[in-house]
Amino acid sequence: MNKLTNTVLSGLDARERDVIVGRFGLMKSETCTLAEIGNRYDITRERVRQIEELALAEAKKKLSDPATKAFVQTAVSELKRMGGVARDDMATAAILKKMGVAESDSAAAASARFIMELSGKMYFHREDLEFYPYWHLGTSYEKTAHAVIGKLSAMLKSKREEVLKENTRVFGYLADVTKSLHVSEAEAKNYLAIS
């Protein structure tokens, strides 16, 4: 993963590279704020954001590298296999495993996330009050995931007493939801993992 990241960042000057490395946590796996980077260079947060924007545009040009293209295709394929939507940690682990990289390698995970986001073929939903952070392949996949979650939630609420008495029936309700929305049970479980 470091080799891919180095390829993508190869056209950047030292400051642009430092901004991207810091913002995406590519070396320490901890991201830096605009203010932290600005303090390092004695520039404003806005100037750091501008440098980041320019550096990302330059880095996107390197996505045509064959190894980087192969990684992006692998990532898209894994997300499709997972139903087009998957919680960040699960998606990243599956993609790294497919690439033969240790899932516990936090620097590799940060690099994978950076290239996935840079590619524009996958979209990242940041954590909010309803959902864990997750990746998706587009709004149609996202809508399907939300529909599965919503429908199962409504069904469980309406049958609360029954579910509390006999919790094994929960998977029966999941099967009912998957049939009605034409998704596999494995996809539905991935969707539920984001909520």
**Total domains in the fold of the chain:** 3
Whether the pLDDT of residue 103 is over 80: the answer is: no
Domain C-terminal end among 74, 94, 121? 121
Contact 116, 4 (CB under 8 A): no
Angstrom distances, CA of residue 36 to CA of 39, 42, 106:
5, 10, 21
Whether residue 168 is predicted with pLDDT greater than 60 in this model: the reply is no
113 and 160 fall within a common domain: no
The shares of helix, strand and coil residues in the chain, as percent rounded to the nearest 5, are 70, 5, 25
Name the token pair of 21. 């490395």
User: Is 17 part of a structural domain of the chain?
Assistant: yes
Distance CA 106, CA 69 (A): 22
Q: What is the pLDDT of residues 76-100, one digit of tens each?
A: 999 999 999 999 999 999 999 999 9
Q: Using CA atoms, how far apart are residues 144 and 152, in angstroms rounded to an integer?
A: 12
In the structure, what pLDDT confidence band is assigned to residue 175 with cuts at 50, 70 and 90?
confident
The whole domain housing 95 covers: 64-121
- Cα–Cα distance for residue pair 5/111, rounded to 1 Å: 6
Q: Considering the chain, what percentage of its residues have pLDDT values greater than 90?
A: 70
Does residue 126 belong to any structural domain of this protein? no
CA 150 to each of CA 74, 90, 144, 189: distance values in angstroms, whole numbers, following the listed order: 30, 21, 10, 13
* Domain-embedded: residue 133: no
> Domain of 55: which CATH number?
1.10.10.10
- What is the pTM (predicted TM-score) of this model? 0.85
